Amino acid sequence: MPEIPPPLTTMPPAHQADLLITGRWLLPTSRQRDAIAGGGVAVRGDRIIAMGRADELAARYPDARRLHEEHGLIMPGLVNTHTHAAMACFRGLADDLPLMTWLEDHIFPAEARLSPDIVYQSTLLSLAEMIKSGTTSFCDMYLFAGEVARAAHQSGMRAWIGEVLYDFPSPNYGELENGFAYVADLFRQYQDHPLITITADPHGVYTCSPDLLLRLGAMATEHNCPYVIHLSENAAEVTLCRERHGCTPVEHLERLGLLNPRTLAVHCVVVDDREIGILAAHGVKVAHCPESNMKLASGPAPVAGLLRAGVTLGLGTDGSASNNDVDMFGEMNSAAKLHKLITMNPTVMDAETTLHMATLGGASCLQADSDIGSLTVGKKADIIVLDLNQPHLTPLYNIPSHLVYAARGADVIHSIINGRLVMRHRQLLTLDEGAILTRMEEIGRTILTSRNH
């Protein structure tokens, strides 16, 4: 495990703050009624120690370092509940194809040639993109997860990371038995990391035997961590599961005793009302990935029904091979509009509901809502600042509306994760953006060359 860096600032005496972040508006939650004009946040170490009007905070903490943005909107960092960050290296390599052609002729052959270095570099690229578009936490499932974690550690991002297991040999660990050992090793390496949590990640019910599903379930129980699985992403998966197990993917996991509040079910596109009831009854969380579901023509997840049933939902971008970005602002915009259209009801997925899904809802999906997802005294300082002084954000009547329907990742100018400034005036402070881009261009040329041979 890489060495954990020391905190950036020495812990000051009590009643002191390290950093005061102030601006035009503070939106601590997803609700417009909670907005504070001229508000700010005081941070000590990794936590929020005070919130309120900027002038009052400045008087209370005169010695704190100031980050004041005249036209800034201060808000919680976004939580991306489903990524394959390293797939950034495949962005735009193959689009607009039937699912099986895309997977079998393009993605699987490319993945077979993955190396630890490509995964590490490509994850760095996604981390740069995520920080520059307002994400402060992400939940990643991929191959060579140790490299994903190494990159996340370097970036200072908060991360939930799992090595994906399935019945077939993996480009990373080879035979499945090695996979369990690899995951167990990750748990050991990162057990005390302040920002990285290891998760248990079976790929899906159509690619994992019941034994695999159960063994990872036991690891999730042992470590009390999220159990992340693609579930009912499309009709083909459900058909296959019915043929093999005589039931739907949701029923299959229920029969195996694998539905519980740690389960993070990704997609849930093809689930009926009865299955929604099952997910709700077991406290299962759902990572909704609207843009991936649209681009792959998987279908629209029944989000309005899931919300009515009280299921906790987060938003996810999925990988850049099927989205093709990791911009959570774009994902909010798509999510809100998609479900209005699908239900033919413009009141569905209002701006506050959508913003909640991208913040506190996502945090709840990761069992982290007591630490992140909103700005509250005592919570971790995961904070972003947007520049409101732009044509597409003027005038401003309702902040959640602007965030969901008009704002873009590029509007984020500062980012603080765990009390640490990781981006200032759009300059990344923990990553060397120029070096990452140069290296990724080389990797892109290699991928293209090897594909053409």
392 binds a second copy (CB under 8 A): yes
333, 364, 374, 415: which one binds a second copy (CB under 8 A): 333
Query: Among 68, 132, 63, 106, which residue's Cα sits nearest to residue 428?
Result: 132
Site for a second copy in 303-332 (CB under 8 A): 320, 323-327, 330
From 188-196, 215-223, 273-281, 349-357, span contacting a second copy (CB under 8 A): 349-357
From 46-54, 111-119, 239-247, 294-302, span contacting a second copy (CB under 8 A): 294-302
52, 299, 424, 429: which one binds a second copy (CB under 8 A): 299
Q: Which is nearer to a second copy, 198 or 270 (CB)?
A: 270
Site for a second copy in 432-451 (CB under 8 A): 433, 436-437, 440-441, 443-445, 447-448
CB atoms within 10 A of CB 272: 14
242, 245, 340, 424: which one binds a second copy (CB under 8 A): 340
Q: Which is nearer to a second copy, 258 or 306 (CB)?
A: 306
* Structure tokens belonging to residue 354: 């959508």
191, 370, 398, 427: which one binds a second copy (CB under 8 A): 398
From 2-10, 255-263, 290-298, 368-376, span contacting a second copy (CB under 8 A): 290-298
132, 223, 262, 285: which one binds a second copy (CB under 8 A): 132
Give, in order, the Cα–Cα distances in Å from 125 to each of 122, 147, 202, 329, 368: 5, 13, 25, 18, 25
Quote the DSSP letter at residue 194: S
CB atoms within 10 A of CB 57: 23
Q: Which is nearer to a second copy, 113 or 445 (CB)?
A: 445
> Prior bond to 389 cis, omega within 30?
no
* Residue showing tokens 């703050």: 17
Q: SS3 of 396, please?
A: coil
Q: State in angstroms the smallest separation of the CB of 355 from a second copy.
A: 12
Burial label, 110 (beta-carbon count in 10 A; 0-12, 13-18, 19+):
buried
* Structure tokens belonging to residue 282: 């077991």
31, 60, 408, 424: which one binds a second copy (CB under 8 A): 408
**Long-range pairs for 370-374 at CB < 8 Å and ≥24 separation?**
372/76, 372/77, 372/79, 372/136, 372/137, 372/158, 373/76, 373/79, 374/28, 374/29, 374/30, 374/76
Q: Which is nearer to a second copy, 199 or 334 (CB)?
A: 334
4, 11, 37, 97: which one binds a second copy (CB under 8 A): 97
Q: Which is nearer to a second copy, 209 or 394 (CB)?
A: 394
